[in-house]
Amino acid sequence: MVKKKLSDPLENRKGALFFDGFSVKELAEKYDTPLYVLSEKRIQDNYNRLYTALLNNYKYVRIYYAAKANTNLTVLRILQSQGAYLDTVSPGEVFMALSSGFTPDRILFTGVSVRNDELKMLADAGVTINVDSQSELDRLLKIAVPHILSVRVNPEFGAGHHDHCITAGPESKFGLWEEEVIQAYAIAERARVERFGIHMHIGSGILDVEPYVKAVDKLLRIAKRVHEEVGINFEFIDIGGGFGVPYKPEDKEFDLKLFSSKVVKLFKNKVKDYGLGKPFLFVEPGRYLVCDSSILLTTVNTVKVTPSRKFIGVDAGFNTLLRPTMYGSYHQILVANKLDESDKETYDVAGPLCESGDILAKERKLPTVEEGDLLAVLNVGAYGFSMSSQYNSRPRAAEVLIRQGKSIPIRNREQLGDLVSSQKVQCES
């Protein structure tokens, strides 16, 4: 018998997978598949672990949850109750944030290629705008002079788990470079903006601490120049998110203790050395807070053996979980009803879409799989549902939250009617 090593909130009870105390088989029977299952407790634990680690080395810390990772209103509400603030990247996310109960003063907007009507909506809503370009700043100041403003800096150096996820450095479309940053603050100051922050986000899925050391060092040197040359004080300095999580069993965890003792301490020492006062340190994690709080349950429809491969056909494709197709990402998969069986076969796990790229896992070793088996795809809480679509006219999946020993639906499964609800048929005249 092979015992699979599982970590909280996953459990092996006599070969059957349990998630936060619930039999996933029973959840699948009750709510059908594909189904996202989320653990409230895991989100809360992740938030508290991160906050405590940061506070160990600096007193003035705020966590801005990057909503894009998972915009479910209940997830937003859980993090709000923990004390989180919110990082948003579109007017839609601001709307979601306000709908979930975040007040505008707790919302930061970091957009790119922002339209004028969107800038007006954001200024009217009173959220803090973090401008991404000189053009955005000029257009904003013509619409409204905000009380508080931040500028996104490209610290000339990025990092990330995939090229698409590196959001700073020479190839990046994001942020302003050093000389432009100085100019932007000078313009904002002349326009009588009263309060300021400064921001960067170097990328996503970063498991090492060194990239942050390098980028924070650069950001603070730029902040010092702005302080000295433009004469403004920063209320906050936002060093972005991107803290990675282990997806493969052999991946290491993001070393929070090391991050705090190196990066947060560096921050504390440098703001003092540079005479920057006591600005808030903002961080913007998405993935770290929600990734391992969720699994995706999917049922095996077909097992197909060709002369060259063995395919398992399941009911979740890249319409439900895009990351494997989009980034070639690895997600661990468990056969939820066969945890004690050894991995004897090598399969490609394929979705139901009419696309050859619709593969959730390639050449994956699993126990012998049969039709009707239930698979659990792990670590899908970040960029899982939020990247899902109706491609191939497939309604989106349902979401269920495990809260204090109860399973609670937090998103209805879309129905066929949802596929047509925003369309109008134009008949020939």
Ligand X SMILES: Cc1ncc(COP(=O)(O)O)c(C=O)c1O
Q: Known catalytic residues?
A: 354
| Distance, CA of 113 to CA of 120 (rounded, Å) | 14
Query: Pattern 253-292, binding to ligand X, x per CB under 6 A?
Result: -------------------------------xxxxx----
| Distance, CA of 152 to CA of 255 (rounded, Å) | 26
Q: Does 204 bind ligand X (CB under 6 A)?
A: yes
The nearer residue to ligand X, 289 or 312, going by C-beta atoms, is 289
Q: Does 40 bind ligand X (CB under 6 A)?
A: no
Among 66, 76, 215, 374, binds ligand X (CB under 6 A): 66
- Residues 102-121 within binding reach of ligand X (CB under 6 A): 110
- Assess contact for 15 and 340: CB atoms under 8 A: yes
The one segment of 45-53, 214-222, 241-249, 258-266 that binds ligand X by CB under 6 A: 241-249
Q: Residue ranges of the alpha helices (H) in 101-192?
A: 116-125, 134-143, 178-190
Q: Does 240 bind ligand X (CB under 6 A)?
A: yes
Q: Does 358 bind ligand X (CB under 6 A)?
A: no
- Burial pattern 203-219, b for ≥16 Cβ within 10 A else e, equals bbbbbebebbeebbebb
Q: Does 197 bind ligand X (CB under 6 A)?
A: no
Q: Does 181 bind ligand X (CB under 6 A)?
A: no
Residue 56, token pair as written in the block: 């160990």
In whole angstroms, how close is the CB of 285 to ligand X at the nearest point? 4
Does the N-terminal peptide bond of residue 34 adopt cis geometry, omega within 30 degrees of 0?
yes
In whole angstroms, how close is the CB of 79 to ligand X at the nearest point? 13
Burial of 52 (C-beta count, 10 Å sphere; 0-12/13-18/19+): exposed
Among 175, 242, 313, 352, binds ligand X (CB under 6 A): 242
In whole angstroms, how close is the CB of 47 to ligand X at the nearest point? 13
Q: Does 93 bind ligand X (CB under 6 A)?
A: no
Q: Does 167 bind ligand X (CB under 6 A)?
A: yes
In whole angstroms, how close is the CB of 393 to ligand X at the nearest point? 29
The nearer residue to ligand X, 200 or 316, going by C-beta atoms, is 200
In whole angstroms, how close is the CB of 371 to ligand X at the nearest point? 36
Burial of 12 (C-beta count, 10 Å sphere; 0-12/13-18/19+): middle
Among 201, 218, 323, 394, binds ligand X (CB under 6 A): 201
The nearer residue to ligand X, 110 or 337, going by C-beta atoms, is 110
- Assess contact for 338 and 365: CB atoms under 8 A: no
| Distance, CA of 93 to CA of 76 (rounded, Å) | 11
Residue linked to tokens 């004390």: 83
In whole angstroms, how close is the CB of 199 to ligand X at the nearest point? 8
Among 27, 28, 36, 87, binds ligand X (CB under 6 A): 87
- Residues 363-382 within binding reach of ligand X (CB under 6 A): 382
Element (H, E) at 391: none
The nearer residue to ligand X, 159 or 220, going by C-beta atoms, is 159
Count of residues near ligand X by CB under 6 A: 19
Q: Which residue is nearest to ligand X (CB)?
A: 286
Among 27, 53, 69, 378, binds ligand X (CB under 6 A): 69
- Residues 2-31 within binding reach of ligand X (CB under 6 A): none
Q: Does 313 bind ligand X (CB under 6 A)?
A: no
Would you list the DSSP string of 169-237?
STT--SSB-HHHHHHHHHHHHHTT--EEEEE---BSSB--SHHHHHHHHHHHHHHHHHHHHH---EEEE
In whole angstroms, how close is the CB of 339 to ligand X at the nearest point? 29
In whole angstroms, how close is the CB of 421 to ligand X at the nearest point? 30
| Distance, CA of 301 to CA of 263 (rounded, Å) | 48
Beta-carbon count within 10 A of 165 CB: 18
Element (H, E) at 64: strand 61-66
Sequence-ordered list of residues with C-beta below 8 angstroms from that of 209, at least 6 positions apart, any chain: 255, 258, 259, 262, 263
Provide the binding-site residues for ligand X, judged by CB under 6 A: 66, 68-69, 87, 110, 167, 201, 204-205, 240-243, 284-288, 382
